[in-house]
Structure 1
């Protein structure tokens, strides 16, 4: 599954991008409806759009309608479905009749679900996974397992490097201590030799 995240607020885009990437999803981001449409026109591997209700110069409903006009075909000439999810702030989702009307219209048009910001990532991931065919779920799980192995390997490599660095520090300290002790013994022997000769 490849997801396009559309939100005009940078930290929301980046936060959702990081969280979904962590869960093994391919992600792209856009800050406006125009940018989202340009991406959808050029990347037909995107099958899911998570968009804020309000965007600069157009809303999510306009984006949905414009995206529906794009002729999208994958490498095999098949037109893949494009699934939309709506995100709203608590105020947008629950305040005025106009806002309620827009969210109802979006869901009636074909948006698959509505999420209130801040988004519950676990719930979102669960909904995304449930929307995937079984074959895709298996591929996705394999990707997650691979990411975890890479992460664990990277963590283990870091731990090993830290241990080696620690051992090098200890070894250098022991070497310096040995030199210091040898010097002290030499000085002591010189003093003993002087006192004997006197």
Structure 2
């Protein structure tokens, strides 16, 4: 679309004269400020305004202020018309956002040169904006490709667990949803607001299914054992944490080149079996030394494990599950995260029952 020029002047003679001078350009006119602003709102092709400052209904200064304070007019350039003796008006107009001025009586050559220069600048500005839109679209497409590749990779890794019937796909779906609920609730708490930004939460939720990926390295005799593990078997089971971390770290080139989602996945895998009082594994970290991703995953994983039937245990009911988690406040779990869990526990239960509706082969409704 070609850019139009709007000529605003209460003098019909001046409007006609300027239009004739600009015969090579597409122009429209307005005889006052109010009419000019209405035309700017309805005609989006206008990008240059020639504005008389001395008009009876609405001064050029008022029109300038309105243009500069209206977001939809942000790309409109204004050239003001002044008389030769109105130096102060020229300065004031430029201070209010005008890009140039022309003095009356209008010199045709001067006006044409100025118009030509500004129209070229407008064209260059439009080309830059078009290039930026294309670049934004390209960045969006590439970002989607990266996200899709990430999600495909995560799903492929998790499927290695599912094919061995270690956990059903429902477990990964449930824990993803619960991570989203808990993290989005905690982001409004001042103590967590600096880290729980939306982008970080998105990565937390996306990588949650990887928390037990290291179990692919544990033999079926231990993973699928229907009873309690012996101390020796438990030590072998604990190795799934390092196995999972190593699976991701072994292919990394450097810390600087590690994608954020891999960093967060490693934190979830490495620290979701740590306990707030330092009695967890594999490193025995305590308190805030345990990365937040691990502290969040810990309570989600335990909740889901307690309330659902596993090969080694029957399911606990909802109230008993909540009671067991609450009893571990400050021991197994971060006290602040337990408090947040209490706020969203009904939402957690809704997630559990949502998937029971889809597949209730082994489970019952806990409401």
Structure 2 length normalisation: TM-score?
Answer: 0.31
* Contact 2:11 2:31 (C-alpha < 8 Å) held by counterparts: yes
Higher relative contact order by CA 8 Å / sep ≥ 6: 1 or 2? 1
Deviations 1:53-88, CA, capped at 9 Å, x for gaps = 11122211110111233443xxxxxx7611111112
Q: Which runs of no fewer than 5 residues in structure 2 stay unpaired?
A: 125-367
Give the 3-state SS of the residue equivalent to 2:46 in structure 1. coil
Taking the aligned partners of 2:80 and 2:94, their CA distance within structure 1 comes to 8
Whether 2:59 is the aligned partner of 1:59: answer yes
1:1-198 alignment runs, 5 A limit: 1-20=3-22, 22=23, 24-72=24-72, 81-90=75-84, 94=85, 99-133=86-120, 136=123
Structure showing greater Rg: 2
Higher strand fraction (1 or 2): 1
* Contact 2:21 2:112 (C-alpha < 8 Å) held by counterparts: no
Give the 3-state SS of the residue equivalent to 1:29 in structure 2. strand
Question: Is the alpha carbon distance of 1:11 and 1:109 closer, same or farther for their aligned partners in structure 2, counting shifts above 3 Å?
Answer: same
Taking the aligned partners of 1:116 and 1:12, their CA distance within structure 2 comes to 12
Q: CA deviation at 1:51?
A: 0.9
Give the 3-state SS of the residue equivalent to 2:79 in structure 1. strand
Deviations 1:7-50, CA, capped at 9 Å, x for gaps = 10101101111221x2x211010110001011011011100110
* Contact 1:47 1:80 (C-alpha < 8 Å) held by counterparts: no
* Contact 1:86 1:115 (C-alpha < 8 Å) held by counterparts: yes
Taking the aligned partners of 2:80 and 2:46, their CA distance within structure 1 comes to 16
Q: CA deviation at 1:6?
A: 0.5
Q: How many residues align?
A: 122
Instruction: Give 1:164's aligned residue.
Output: none
Question: Is the alpha carbon distance of 1:10 and 1:135 closer, same or farther for their aligned partners in structure 2, counting shifts above 3 Å?
Answer: closer
Question: Is the alpha carbon distance of 1:8 and 1:134 closer, same or farther for their aligned partners in structure 2, counting shifts above 3 Å?
Answer: closer
Taking the aligned partners of 2:87 and 2:21, their CA distance within structure 1 comes to 28
Compute the RMSD of aligned alpha carbons: 2.2
Structure 1 length normalisation: TM-score?
Answer: 0.55
Question: Is the alpha carbon distance of 1:126 and 1:38 closer, same or farther for their aligned partners in structure 2, counting shifts above 3 Å?
Answer: same
Q: CA deviation at 1:124?
A: 1.2
Q: Which runs of no fewer than 5 residues in structure 1 stay unpaired?
A: 73-78, 138-198
Give the 3-state SS of the residue equivalent to 1:54 in structure 2. coil
Taking the aligned partners of 1:71 and 1:30, their CA distance within structure 2 comes to 21
